[in-house]
């Protein structure tokens, strides 16, 4: 097989259909970029679940006028409860210090929040987080020094449902874009094959195999998929630098959300680039087999 001839045919085909090739590359890049974003969001959600669900599940906020006897009674009941795996007591000063650390990147919020705005509390980890109702019943709101009992697990469920929805929406849009990219690849290959039908017919007459005449078109699509994947990877790198490492620096440093490491970006970039090359190659091959006579 003459490699130089095949490569020259690939370059010629890309030049002849330059505008459609550019459109194919950009559409592929957008779909792969959205797919990569969805994968990174899924990774962040998984890491955040490991962090948050391993922490305290229930918070018992104490009333402003709680007495030492009431505070001690609550602690004693928690120590003797079979439902409680562990717990910690957090004073007002400790709660405010944690608040300052979490929102260090938002000084206006910290300055406008007085130290006595955050109540003291017991932060409880349950043996079975689903048995929150048992703790809520043992410490009714407004009685024995208890202001309210809050199930953090329920809040986390709603939070991760929202994040999962964002991930699913991103992947769904990526799927639509990928379908558009595949159709565009198919149309571009059909047009390229039509424009070069005389050349390929002559090649077949002199004994060239079907595979030999199809290979330049497949390589054109694969190259477009490769460039689209590299552009999508570059987009992920820019997003990490300008959004994750900059805009989200505060919440990440405070431990509210997890960051994205470079190895994750590189691995995701490799996945979407490989996917772009394979999908474009398969789409062009199927198009040539079904719709084009070479």
Residue 24 has pLDDT above 60, yes or no: yes
Distance CA 75, CA 168 (A): 43
- Residue 185, burial from CB neighbour count under 10 angstroms (0-12, 13-18, 19+): buried
pTM exceeds 0.85: no
Could you tell me the CA-to-CA distances from 21 to 162, 211, 272, 274, 283 in Å, in that order? 37, 22, 19, 19, 15
Contacts of 142 (CB under 8 A, 6+ apart): 63, 148
The domain limits of the chain are 3-52+157-291, 58-153
Distance CA 65, CA 142 (A): 11
Q: What is the pLDDT of residues 172-222, one digit of tens each?
A: 888 888 888 888 888 887 777 776 665 665 555 555 556 666 777 788 888
Q: What is the pLDDT of residues 63-80, one digit of tens each?
A: 888 888 888 988 898 888
What's the CATH architecture for 58-153? 2-Layer Sandwich (3.30)
Q: What is the pLDDT of residues 223-256, one digit of tens each?
A: 889 999 999 999 999 999 998 888 877 777 766 7
Please give the pLDDT value at position 264.
92
In 72-89, which positions are buried (b, 16+ CB within 10 angstroms) versus exposed (e)?
eebeeebeebeebeebee
Strands, DSSP E only, in 111-252? 121-126, 146-151
């Amino acid at each position: 097989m003459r490699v130089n001839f095949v490569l020259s045919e690939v370059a010629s085909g890309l030049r002849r259909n330059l505008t459609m090739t550019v459109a194919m590359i950009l559409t592929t890049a957008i779909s792969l970029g959205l797919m990569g974003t969805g994968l990174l969001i899924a990774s962040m959600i998984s890491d955040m679940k490991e962090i948050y669900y391993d922490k305290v599940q229930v918070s018992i906020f104490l009333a402003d006028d709680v007495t030492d006897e009431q505070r001690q009674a609550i602690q004693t009941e928690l120590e003797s409860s079979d439902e409680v795996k562990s717990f910690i007591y957090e004073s007002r000063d400790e709660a405010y210090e944690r608040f300052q650390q979490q929102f260090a990147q938002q000084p206006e919020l910290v300055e406008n929040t007085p130290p006595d705005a955050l109540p003291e509390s017991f932060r409880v980890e349950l043996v079975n987080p689903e048995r929150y109702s048992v703790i809520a019943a043992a410490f009714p709101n407004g009685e024995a020094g208890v202001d309210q009992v809050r199930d953090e697990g329920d809040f986390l469920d709603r939070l991760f449902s929202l994040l999962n929805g964002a991930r699913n929406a991103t992947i769904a849009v990526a799927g639509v874009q990928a379908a558009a990219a595949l159709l565009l690849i198919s149309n571009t290959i059909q047009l390229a094959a039509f424009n070069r039908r005389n050349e390929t017919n002559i090649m077949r007459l002199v004994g060239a195999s079907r595979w030999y005449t199809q290979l330049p078109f497949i390589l054109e699509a694969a190259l477009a998929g490769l460039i689209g994947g590299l552009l999508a990877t570059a987009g992920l790198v820019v997003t990490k630098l300008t959004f994750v490492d900059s805009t989200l620096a505060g919440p990440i440093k405070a431990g509210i959300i997890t960051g994205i490491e470079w190895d994750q970006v590189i691995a995701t970039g490799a996945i979407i680039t490989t996917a772009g090359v394979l999908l474009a190659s398969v789409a062009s091959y199927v198009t040539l087999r079904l719709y084009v006579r070479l």
